[in-house]
Amino acid sequence: MTRLAELADPIVIRAVLTLGLAVVALVVAAAWLSARHGIERRLSGRIAALGAVGSATAARRTRRPDAIAVLGAIGEALGRTALISPRDRRELERSVAAAGLKPGSVVPVVIGLKLVLLVAVPTALWSVTVLRGIAGVQQIAIVAVGVMVGLLGPNWVLGWMHARHIRQIRTGLPDTLDLMVICAEAGLGLESMVERVASEMAPSNGPIAAEFALLSSELRLLSDRRQALLNLGQRTDVDGLRRLATTLAQTIQYGTPLGQALRTLASEMRQERLTAFEERAAKLPALLVLPLTLFILPCLVLLLAGPSFVQLFGSFKS
C-alpha cells in the first residue's frame, strides 16, 4: 500500500510524464535528423554524379592524410627559399607531370619528403651503427649511403611511376587511335572526340583517360588549340602521343580530313609496333646464347658423355 501511495504521488506522476515526453521528443528528433541526413546524402550523391571530377578532387583533398599535409607545408616553405632553384623546381614539376601526377599539389610533398628523408635516414643509420658498435670508415660509408637514399629515393620512386605510366599509355594507345578513328568517321569534332575518348577509356586505361581529360580542358581554355595539342606530347614524353598531337595540330592548321589523318597514323603505329615485335624476336637467339652455354650445355654434356666417362674410369681401375 505504501508503494502504491508513492506511485500515486502527483510529483512522481509528473516526473514520469516529463521523462516520457523527453523520450518521445528524443525519438522524434532522431527520426527527423535521420530523414534529413538521408535527404542530404541523396542530394550529395546526385551532386557527385553530376560533377564527378570536382567531387573526386574535393574528396581527395578532404581525405588527405595529415602527414602528407605536413610534408606539403614543409615543401612549400622550403620552395620559397633559395635552396630550391627555379630550374630544379621546373625539372621536378616535369618529372611529376610525366609520372601522371599533378605538379601543383605533388611537388611540395616531394620536396618535403626529400628534406625529411635526408634527415631521418642518415640519423637512423647512424643510430644503428652506434648500437652495433660500428665506427670509422664503415660508419661514414653507411651514413653516406643513407644520405644518398634520402636525397635520391623520391626521384627513384618518381622514375618508377613514370615508367609505369608510360607503359600503360603505350599499351592503351592503339585502342585509343582506333576509337578516335571511329569518332572522327561518326562526325564528331575534335573537342567532342577527345571528351568521348576520355570517358570511354577511363574503365580500361586510367592514364590515357586522364591525359585526354586534361587535353579536353586545355582545348576549352586555351585560345590556341594547337598549343594544347602540343602540350600533350611534351607533358607525357611519349613518341606516339607526340606524333598524334602533331598530326592533329597539322590537321587544324591545314584543314586536312581528320578521319583520314587518324587512320593513316593508326596504320603507321600498328606497323611500327609489329616491326618492334619482330626486332625483339630477332634478338632472342643472341640473348639465349649465354643461358644455353651456362645452364643447358653442361647438363647435355653430363647426360651424353657421363656414362662414357664412368666406363672409362672403371676400365682404368680394373
Q: Is residue 30 part of a domain?
A: no
Of the candidates 262, 246, 249, 267, which has an alpha carbon nearest to the alpha carbon of residue 180?
A: 262
* Pair (171, 274) in one structural domain: yes
DSSP code per residue over 140-192:
HHHHHHHHHHHHHHHHHHHHHHHHHHHHHHHHHHHHHHHHHHHHHHTT--HHH
Alpha-carbon distance values, 121 to 116, 126, 127, 129 (Å): 8, 9, 10, 12
Over residues 32-53, mean pLDDT: 56
Domain boundary among 129, 154, 179: 154
Domain boundary among 154, 178, 213: 154
Q: What tens digit of pLDDT does each residue of 213-265 get?
A: 888 888 888 877 888 888 887 777 778 888 888 888 888 888 778 888 888 88
* Pair (252, 205) in one structural domain: yes
Q: Is residue 48 part of a domain?
A: no
Predicted confidence band of residue 10 (pLDDT cuts 50, 70, 90): low
* Pair (186, 238) in one structural domain: yes
Of the candidates 152, 208, 151, 206, which has an alpha carbon nearest to the alpha carbon of residue 178?
A: 208
* Pair (80, 175) in one structural domain: no
Structure-block grid coordinates of residue 32: 527527423
Q: Is residue 45 part of a domain?
A: no
pLDDT of residue 2: 43
Our count of domains for the chain comes to: 2
* Pair (150, 181) in one structural domain: no
Q: Is residue 6 part of a domain?
A: no
* Pair (196, 243) in one structural domain: yes
Full-model pTM: 0.59
Q: What tens digit of pLDDT does each residue of 269-315 get?
A: 888 888 888 888 888 888 888 888 888 888 888 888 888 888 888 78
Q: Is residue 252 part of a domain?
A: yes
* Pair (208, 101) in one structural domain: no
* Pair (209, 269) in one structural domain: yes
* Pair (175, 150) in one structural domain: no
Q: Is residue 54 part of a domain?
A: no
Decide if 241 contacts 215 (C-beta within 8 A). Answer: no
Q: Is residue 160 part of a domain?
A: no
For residue 138, what are the domain limits? 65-154
Q: Is residue 201 part of a domain?
A: yes
CA distance 302 to 298: 6
pLDDT of residue 209: 85
